[in-house]
Structure 1
Amino acid sequence: MQPLLEDRGTVAAQRQQFTQSGYLVIPGLVPPPLVERLTAEVDHWVDDGLRARSIACCTDPARQGPPPVMELELPAHGELLTHQPLLELTAELLGAPFVFHHLHSDRHSARLPGKPWHHDREPNTRGDLSLTMVHALHYLGGLDDTMDSLVVLPGSQREAAEKSVRARLDTAELPGEVIVGRLPAGSTVLINSALFHARRPRRPRRPAATGAGKPRYFVDASYCQTGAQWWPVKPYWRHMLTRARELGLDGGRWPELFAERHFTEYADLRSPGEDLRRLAA
């Protein structure tokens, strides 16, 4: 099943689509000049070992401490994090103030294994499922037949389910799924973080000797409705929010966006590296 690329439509129509299905496709949200700068920064992030260092700082925080560079400190990434059309749409969809949760950036090789069915919602201290967490999945080069597809399961955000309850299915086809396999460059898929989704390998896989397809440039940014304290996923979350405030990323327009009071202290309740492994949608 191929996805229907939703037009911008009215805010009410977008809110209805997002509420019912748990996702909203926004073709070309990121302008070409910003896409170009972001792509260069992703190459720098991956090729110069900054991403690997960031992962090490999450898997062994006691020894590593905060990373020397975070994604939001890269100028284009910081700009994407607070891209006004994205934040304004998020505010309209959520209908409430929200806080930044995390930013993640990667370049997916065509040989990368798929990502099984999962969701990415984090708990909050009230156990309040009515508070929404969203992920903005940015596909800098778009998506096409040479790349893995994003697959979503509309409506599954309404389940009260563990993140990995469908992981045993790997990336198998499920009734009612929607495949997001074709997007223009700079497109964004905004999802309710409780929505089950997967990264499905392109089929058929061609042997490496015959070419391996294009890399998949991917950045995701996550935001949470205020009203409870959310679990952070990075041990240096406080340093991250502090740097965002120091850099003035909110532009004076979003006073809650980098406020520390919306989070609990970090608790390493997961296996080492789990947060970083599951972030690549």
Structure 2
Amino acid sequence: MLDSFQEQGYAVFPDFLGKEEIDTLKAAVDAHASARPQRNAYENEQIGELTWHSRALEQVDKVMGGERYVFHHIHAARHDAGTRGVAWHQDYEQYPQTNRAHLMVHVFFYLNGLNGTIGDLLLVPGSQRFAVESNALTFLGDSDLPGSITVDDVSPGSMLIVHSGMWHARRAKPGGEGSPRFFIDMSFCQSGVKWPSYGRGDGMLADLRARYEADGGTRPWLFDEEQFFDGPRARKESKDLQGSVILDLPQWQNS
């Protein structure tokens, strides 16, 4: 699976979660999706604890090659019958997009699997090597691309680790009435560079770090705010850049 990740940019871990874990997390995602107003997913006790799931982090350790890394965000969703698809995009956090020097991964949990209803996961293996803006491919919708694959048959509780720079989409599919799909994704960034923060932060990392340490966690650097810069400000200011960005670097000012 590690070889597959290095070559293709993703790895599939079937039946990763046990039945008790699946049932607990499905109930948590259902409560999160039904809450009004909806709160951040990490605030739910069971969903938040998934960010330091020991067996999941063992696999993240491997794809990170033993390097330290930091948690970025976690989302949870209930996809009911008729849920709309999501066009092609990539989720690597960088402003502007220029390189893939450090690894960022998304960890997908399909609590009741994928079975060809509601939505399929689409991937373009190897596309993580090409730096493009997140929405650069949105105009393509969810049409098949050269080399793309469809993931529509994975067992309940399966986990996928995907390079965040991989182009992916969700294609809406009919069916699934009475059997919604429960989905969680979380993300981690390799240390060594500063990463854009997720939103404004709003105390997420401090909250999770305190809960993690109270649970006996010994790697508080997983939730280190110092490894991030102001993401919303970066997004806003990067939109105003003109011409070749390299010319704004100090060593080019007088060239």
Scaled by the length of structure 1, the TM-score of the pair is 0.77
Residue equivalent to 2:187: 222
What residue is the counterpart of 1:81 in the other structure? Answer: 51
- The secondary structure found in structure 2 opposite 1:179 is strand
Matched, 1:92 2:62: yes
- Name the structure 1 match of 2:207: 243
Q: Does 1:148 align with 2:112?
A: no
Give the TM-score taking structure 2 as reference length. Answer: 0.85
Deviations 1:137-186 (A, max 9, x none): 11111111223110100000001111122111100011211111011111
Instruction: Quote the Cα distance in structure 1 between the aligned partners of 2:13 and 2:179.
Output: 22
Q: Which residue of 1 aligns with 2:19?
A: 32
1:136 equivalenced with 2:100 (yes/no): no
Corresponding residue number in structure 2 for 1:22: 9
Question: Deviation at 1:269?
Answer: 5.7
Conservation of the 8 A alpha-carbon contact between 1:34 and 1:76: no
User: Secondary structure of the residue that 1:256 maps to in structure 2?
Assistant: helix
Q: Alignment RMSD, CA only?
A: 2.2
C-alpha deviations, 1:211-248, integer Å up to 9, x for none? Answer: 7463111110000000111001221x250011012212
Relative to structure 1, the CA distance from residue 216 to residue 268 in structure 2 (aligned partners, 3 Å threshold; closer, same or farther) is farther
Q: Percent identity?
A: 35
Shift of 1:187: 0.7
3-state secondary structure, aligned to 1:201: strand
The alignment status of 1:234 with 2:199, answered yes or no, reads: yes
* Structure showing the higher strand proportion among its residues: 2
Deviation by residue 1:84-113 (Cα, 9 ceiling, x = unmatched): 111011111111111000010110122111
The partner residue of 1:44 within 28, 31, 40 is 31
Q: What residue in structure 2 maps to residue 186 of structure 1? A: 157
Residues 205 and 225 in structure 2, CA contact (< 8 A), matched pair in contact too: yes
Q: Are residues 127 and 151 of structure 1, via their aligned partners in 2, closer, same or farther at CA, if it must alter by over 3 Å? A: closer
* Alignment: residue pair count: 234
After TM superposition, give the deviation of residue 25 of structure 1 in Å: 0.7
The runs of at least 4 consecutive aligned structure 1 residues that moved more than 4 Å come to 124-128, 268-271
Structure possessing the higher radius of gyration over alpha carbons: 2
